Structure formats: C-alpha cells, structure tokens
Amino acid sequence: MSQSDYVGLPEGVTQRRVFLPESRIEIALQDWGGDGPLALLHHANGFCAALWIPVVEFLRDRFHVVAMDARGHGDSAMPPEGATQESFSWSLMADDVRQVAEILLAESGQSQIALGLGHSFGGTLTLAAESRRPGLFEKLVLVDPVVPPQSWLSQARSGNESELVQRARRRRDRWSSRDEARELLSGKALFAEWTPRAFEIYLQEALREAPGGGVELKCAPGVEATIFSNSFSLDLDKVFPAVAAETRLLWAARGNFPLEIFQDVCSRLPRGELVELDAGHLIPMEKPEWVVEHVLEFCA
C-alpha cells in the first residue's frame, strides 16, 4: 500500500470528551456538526472513531454525525484499574454507548438518535444500548456485528484463550516511526483489502507518539485481547427482543460468522432485516461506499 493524501480531520470537526456520570469515565467524541438528526457511530474492537471518516463525509449532509471512541481506544480514557474483565465488560461498554447517546440528546433537545451505526463489536454494543432503553435509536445499521457462536462462548467462559485472543495479545504495538509502521503493517493480511486512505487514517489516528520516542497503538493489545475474551459478558438472548429500533444487519459473507447465526438474530429482532454482502469483516475500511449506500437507502 502506498501513502495516501490523508492530512487529518476535515474542517468543522470538533474533538471533545464527555464525562459519563454512571461509568465515571471520559469518552472522546468526533463531532461532525450539522443541523440534521443525530447519528451516533461506534467502531470495531482495536480501532477508533476516525476510521469512519470515509463513511461520515457522505452522511454529514443528512445527519449531525458523532463518532465515539470506546473506553481504552482512540482518545478515550482507560479505566483506572486497567484492562480487567470487569472494566471491559461488554455490558458496561453498552452502557457507555447509552450514556453518550443520552448526553447528545440532552445537548440537542432531540428525543431520539435517528441512526445508530456500529461495526463489529461496536454494532453489538449499539444494539445492547438500544435494548437498555428501547426507542433510544430510531434506526440501527449494524455492520457485521459480533454474535459469538456457542463454541466461542463456552471457550471464553472456561478461561481458555482462543486463537483470536492470543493473536491480539501478541500484536506488535510500537514502532520507531509511522514510516516504519506503514512499511511493516502494509504486508499484513489484516490490511490487505483496505483502501489506501483507510490504511493511512489508521496510521495517523490509531497510533500516537510514544513516551521516549516512536509511535504506539492507542488501543493496547491487552485491551483488545480482554474485549475478545469477554464476549460472554453480554446476554444477547435478553438484548434481541428488547430492541425497538428498526434494524438492518449487514452480514459479511467472507467474515467470521455463519449466515445461519445472522438469520437467527434477525428472526429474534422485532423489526430486523438482513442484507448479505460479498465482503470481508472489515467492510467500513474495505468498501465504505457500501456502508454509505445501505445507510442512506435504509434511512430515506
């Protein structure tokens, strides 16, 4: 991959933090402004809000878009106790999403978030936030959300680390420079189908200057691994029937989850529909135009 012309966040985007009174943690937001109805976006595990840029720039004329960094990701705070199972409970992080949504509604005077858009575990957390307060969102678009098969849950509950968890824990997290990171990461399978622009956004926004020199991942490997190993901490059987929002699931045919699992999820959502995409799990970074197309069509 070659370096793209990404030069930072566009004009008019405000970066700020909000304090969540229940969670007692600061969450970083990228607020794209606008006079439209609210849209709240949540990224995948290990990533950050800025990776939504190729999607958001086509939504900002329709929505007032706000993208959030999960705790321990991007520019959001780390829990003081570190990367523990308790501090990165999926249930707790779903409450983070709910509280951010409630803060945005209070600021705007709107009664409902028009769109919740989440990728991977961000989609799952957004769905769970809606179940905590049915009607918090009007519509949800969930991009290949994490719906762990029973085998994953059994392994997680047993305390045995899956290959996914082990890979995250072994992930390299520091380089001498962004140029070195660009050179070494460009050959990794994870980034093979990313657009050059998405890859450069990752290098610029998911990495920060490291103490003592060089750059490091904003989301530490231990955080990513803890989240993967903690997938059993959210009872999805209770989440699905409580969701009031109209929901579109985008299933990645070359992703991590069998179609049958998504068909089952869709059947248990009161207002769910399923769309199959010939794509890998990282759709927003590989085919951002597909996400834009489905959001605008669904919300028309």
CATH number for the 14-150+234-298 domain, one of 3.40.50.1820, 3.40.50.720, 3.30.420.270, 3.40.47.10? Answer: 3.40.50.1820
SS3 96: helix
Mean pLDDT, the chain, whole residue set? 94
Task: Name the residue ranges covered by the structural domains of the chain.
Answer: 14-150+234-298
The whole-number pLDDT of residue 1 equals: 42
Q: Which residues contact 24 (CB under 8 A, 6 or more apart)?
A: none
pLDDT in tens, 167-180: 999 999 999 999 99
Task: Please state, in angstroms and rounded to a whole number, the distance separating the CA atoms of residues 195 and 178.
Answer: 18
Q: Give the model's confidence band at 158: pLDDT under 50 very low, under 70 low, under 90 confident, else very high.
A: low
The whole-number pLDDT of residue 272 equals: 98
pLDDT in tens, 41-70: 999 999 999 999 999 999 999 999 999 999
Q: Give the model's confidence band at 91: pLDDT under 50 very low, under 70 low, under 90 confident, else very high.
A: very high
Q: Give the model's confidence band at 114: pLDDT under 50 very low, under 70 low, under 90 confident, else very high.
A: very high
Q: Is the pLDDT of residue 160 over 80?
A: no
More confident residue, 161 or 133: 133
pLDDT in tens, 205-254: 999 999 999 999 999 999 999 999 988 889 999 999 999 999 999 999 99
* pTM exceeds cut of 0.75: yes
* Nearest Cα residue to 274 out of 297, 241, 251: 251
Q: Give the model's confidence band at 151: pLDDT under 50 very low, under 70 low, under 90 confident, else very high.
A: low
